[in-house]
Amino acid sequence: MPDNTYLNWVLQHTSTAWWHDSADLVELQRGLERGAVGVTTNPYLSNLAVAKNRGAWAGEIEGILARGLKPEEKAEALMQLAVTRVAEKLRPEFEASGGRNGYVCAQVNPARAGDREAMLPMARRFHDWAPNIAVKLPATAAGLDVLEDCVAEGTTVTATVSFTVPQVIAIAERCRRGRERAQASGLEPGKCFAVIMIGRLDDYLREVAQDTAAGVSEEDIRQAGLAVTKRAYALYRERKYEAVLLVAALRGGYHLTELAGADLIMSIAPPYQELFVTHDFPREERIDRPVPPEVIGRLSKLPEFVRAYEPEGMRPQEFVAYGVTQRTLGQFSEAGWRLLEAIQ
């Protein structure tokens, strides 16, 4: 990658690292060349990778289909194929960094977001796929229970379907409890990455504002996810949480430029990588530049923003019913996991 790109400046001059947001191996190679140190996948991206590589992986896919697996088991096996191919590519980074970097996410069945008894054994199976797997769990009450158990057992996790300050605080607290349990048992705790799907929150609040005729402008909406992320980041620093914030679902250059300098991870899809290597942006750290209070005031007309922004805006038992949580779980299930189940 040319030394003069904005993405290169972020890597060399700020504390921000980034993960590649795609399971496609061709795209991944470009991402690694640009400095990615991890990979985000989900059922949707895993299904795309299987479909795109149906010919190249024909032997492995036919072997899975010949086993006569139940639909959920088949989807899991196909996702394992896609995820472990990525894990192989990241293994050198994982080993060179002593396990600090080089992770690839493997997401549990999104239709099981409230099912502790299903998610925990699934997480244990995924953990065994490769040493650099970060098991992706939903930030629901059930998912948080499983997250704590995983960290206590030494399994690295990524908490996803997460959009709000209350969710990432709950993730960090349960991570801390899991770490304490691991240490009391003489085990190395699993690492924990706490996702904020910044653009998905903006998308959701835009619809809420339009539907309720709240009088909130598009410019205000574009700062909603940033406000949530900056508040979460400040609380993480203040409380010295061990979990690491991972910002995903970017919707524009502003989602990176306005967070530049933060000690967190950005998950960047290939189209936005292209933007950051072909266009220049202001080269300055902006993480400590607050969202203007008048913008927060206007956004606070939306109760759904208040639930996302205030640390006590929701209890964990409410996370699963938050509007964008249900939308995202449905998309990951219908446009990802169920398509893997249907492969013939």
- Fold designation for 6-341: TIM Barrel (3.20.20)
Res. 104 pLDDT band, cuts 50 70 90: very high
52's tokens: 């795109």
213-228: average pLDDT: 97
113-160 pLDDT, tens digit per residue, is 999 999 999 999 999 999 999 999 999 999 999 999 999 999 999 999
How many CA atoms lie within 13 Å of 24's alpha carbon, on the beta-carbon side? 12
The proportion of the chain whose per-residue pLDDT surpasses 90, expressed as a percent, equals 99
Integer angstrom CA distances of residue 216 from 167, 181, 198, 226, 257:
24, 45, 18, 16, 23
Query: Which of 331, 313, 333 is closest to 322 using CA atoms?
Result: 313
Residue 229 Ramachandran class (φ > 0 left, ψ -120 to 50 alpha, else beta): alpha
Is residue 281 over pLDDT 70?
yes
What's the whole-model pTM score?
A: 0.97
pLDDT of residue 4: 83
Residues 338, 320: Cα–Cα separation, whole Å: 20
154-171 pLDDT, tens digit per residue, is 999 999 999 999 999 999
